[in-house]
Amino acid sequence: MTETVGVVAEDWLLGAELAPAVDGDPLAPLYSGAADGLLVLPFCPACGLALELEQRVCDGCATTGADWRPVDPRGTVHSVTMVHRLERGLVRARAPYPVADVEMAGGHRLVLTSLEPLPHPPAIGDAVSIGFRRLGDVAVPAFTARTTPHGEREDP
């Protein structure tokens, strides 16, 4: 949920000063993919192992480099918390917000908040899918409860 104030769309959760660095950032390919609506994550160029976001040598086969490519946006909740401390000056939300460690179908794990305010967080093991919030000028991946084409919650 974004609200428009003048021409600036503001994030539901945070102030724009928390927007990530993009230019020259180790996660630049993720953000440029996100700007196009794609979740782009790093893999070993040789053996295809899912790498951590700042990992640059494969722990499986020792190949250097990372191949960033779009992934299946579906995942499950590996862990989740509702943050009740609303840090003044940084958090715009007025109610507790979720943070989840989401395990993607391709094996990566990402710590993300939800796409929209979510009073009832998903449970560990629940199915989620990835969308994108806009924080300042940056598209940031966020999770949303996974629904079927009929709008029903899918079983994990």
Q: Are strands 127-135 and 138-145 parallel, antiparallel or unpaired?
A: antiparallel
Q: Given the rule CB under 8 A, which of 38-46, 66-74, 101-109, 144-152 is the region that contacts other proteins?
A: 101-109
Q: Given the rule CB under 8 A, which of 38-46, 63-71, 74-82, 146-154 is the region that contacts other proteins?
A: 74-82
Interface positions, 28-67, toward Zn ion (CB under 5 A): 44, 46-47, 49, 58, 60-61, 63
46 interacts with other proteins by CB under 8 A:
no
Interface positions, 121-150, toward Zn ion (CB under 5 A): none
Binding at 41: pick from Zn ion, other proteins, none (beta carbon under 5-8 Å per type): none
Euclidean distance between the first and the last CA atom of the chain, given in angstroms as a whole number: 25
Q: Is the dihedral of CA 60, 54, 39, 13 positive or negative?
A: positive
Dihedral angle of Cα 133, 134, 138, 139, to the nearest 10 degrees: 30
Could you give the C-alpha distances from 155 to 40, 117, 150, in angstroms and in order? 25, 22, 13
Inter-residue contact 62 to 68 (CB < 8 Å): no
Binding at 39: pick from Zn ion, other proteins, none (beta carbon under 5-8 Å per type): none
CA distance 58 to 78: 23
95 interacts with other proteins by CB under 8 A:
no
Binding at 2: pick from Zn ion, other proteins, none (beta carbon under 5-8 Å per type): none
* Stretch (H or E) spanning 32: helix 28-35
Nearer to other proteins among residue 20 and residue 154 (C-beta): 20
CA distance 32 to 37: 9
Interaction site with other proteins (CB under 8 A): 13-14, 18-21, 25-27, 30, 49-50, 52-54, 59, 78-85, 87-88, 90-91, 96-97, 99-101, 103-104, 107-113, 124, 135, 138, 140, 142
